[in-house]
Amino acid sequence: MLRVRCLRGGSRGAEAAHYIGSQLGRSFTGWVQRTFQSTQAAAASQNSCAVDDHKATAPVPEDCPVSSYNEWDPLEEVIVGRAENAWVPPFSVEVKANTYEKNWEFYQKFGGQSFPRDHLKKAIAEIEEMCNILKMEGVIVKRPEPIDWSVKYKTPDFESTGMYAAMPRDILLVVGNEIIEAPMAWRARFFEYRAYRPVIKDYFHRGAKWTTAPKPTMADELYDQDYPIRSVQDRHKLAAQGKFVTTEFEPCFDAADFIRAGRDIFVQRSQVTNNSGIEWMRRHLAPEYRVHTLSFKDPNPMHIDATLNIIGPGLVLSNPDRPCHQIEFFKKAGWTVIYPPLPLIPDDHPLWMSSKWLSMNVLMLDEKRVMVDVNETPIQKMFENLGISTIKVNIRHANSLGGGFHCWTCDIRRRGTLQSYLD
């Protein structure tokens, strides 16, 4: 287990809202102010579902719409993302550091434009079918709002177009009865939370706890503008030295760099999650939860769930191409470490934001059911040998946008209780 440095930080959200609103113009001022008003209301409100500081171990009331402690309890309700109107992010320094050089020409050509529309159409159809299958399995499905991501916006520190609301796992982390909105680290994702606000406000009004992490300015100082990447070898060297494109100028993190196992939550320092972001989460969740920092032999760390995926109590998938430096931590705790087989996704299939290891980015519906890609027969056999039934779904075109089943979802409610699996 690694320890992170303690850093001081704060937020001046209301002041920033006023200033951003004035810069964006009257048409945007209203929703910026409403956004911060709803955030302030969430922080100030006392409700029957919130965990009292003096009763941190109390169970979540049965009528709370939000309750999830791990990645494998029986899934009852989930948010599934949208590919509609998905926009290629501008080819800025943080995007370049998170993408492979074979895709740089794509970003240089299409940055600030729509993803290929025929491809998007197929991805949308795949996700609709995925939603239908989840419903047939008895899961309630919620969706973010469709938004025009082509709209250019400007803050005092940068300007950008948007990206998408395809991957709720990236921006939302559910811990118990609390929904935590991640601050994000890409400028193209600064306003991504807007697509999720209607559904989150509904959960809040029904009793859930709602927290927004301090929003970074995403000023130039947050990024190493001279981050020296030219090859995979460069990336390996920099990662081994603990050097990333994001600095420690202010806290930032994506929710998908965290993965839950009851009282223990695991995180990696990555290109989008810095140490001060991890420290904010550690303090926010203490003492009820323990946040452990892991590291991997990974030339391009961004989101933990295609590198390490916890699929059951004491059962963890570990990417054989990106070995975990702290894997003995799990073994000493009596956990079973499983190395998934090589993925089958063809070399010529576009993966603009990810690697082929989305094959292990699976969604557990419970301990004995898993949603897995219909094309990935080796990992299907692996699960079946473990006594886990596979629900096969095709999301190959949706994979191209940067996520598998785990990324495309955020589990809102799982039937279970808070437990410790490492003591």
Tokens of 392: 């096969």
In a domain, 382, yes or no: yes
In a domain, 162, yes or no: yes
- Could you tell me the CATH number of the domain that includes residue 243? 3.75.10.10
Question: 51-65, 242-256, 328-342 — which is least confidently predicted?
Answer: 51-65
In a domain, 9, yes or no: no
Return the C-alpha torsion angle 222, 106, 351, 123, nearest 10. Answer: 100
- Spatial CA neighbour of 333 closest among 259, 283, 282, 261: 261
In a domain, 40, yes or no: no
pLDDT over 80 at 178, yes or no:
yes
pLDDT tens string 70-124: 999 999 999 999 999 999 999 999 999 989 889 999 999 999 999 999 999 999 9
The mean pLDDT value for 287-296 works out to: 97
pLDDT of residue 60: 58
Confidence of residue 233 (pLDDT cuts 50, 70, 90): confident
More confident residue, 238 or 144: 144
Domains of the chain: total: 1
Confidence of residue 268 (pLDDT cuts 50, 70, 90): very high
In a domain, 50, yes or no: no
Rounded to whole angstroms, the Cα distance separating 227 from 101 reads 14
Confidence of residue 43 (pLDDT cuts 50, 70, 90): very low
In a domain, 46, yes or no: no
Domain that holds residue 391: 75-414
Confidence of residue 11 (pLDDT cuts 50, 70, 90): very low
Contact call for residues 168 and 409 (beta carbons, < 8 A): yes
Question: The dihedral of CA 25, 87, 216, 281: what is its sign?
Answer: positive
- Spatial CA neighbour of 182 closest among 67, 99, 241, 267: 267
Rounded to whole angstroms, the Cα distance separating 65 from 317 reads 29
The mean pLDDT value for 45-62 works out to: 46
Q: What is the mean pLDDT of the chain?
A: 88
pTM of the model: 0.86
Q: Where are the beta strands (DSSP E) in 207-328?
A: 209-212, 258-261, 264-268, 290-294, 308-312, 315-318
pLDDT tens string 378-415: 999 999 999 999 999 999 999 999 999 999 999 999 99
As annotated, the active-site residues are 254, 303, 407
In a domain, 61, yes or no: no
- Spatial CA neighbour of 186 closest among 211, 149, 145: 149
In a domain, 19, yes or no: no
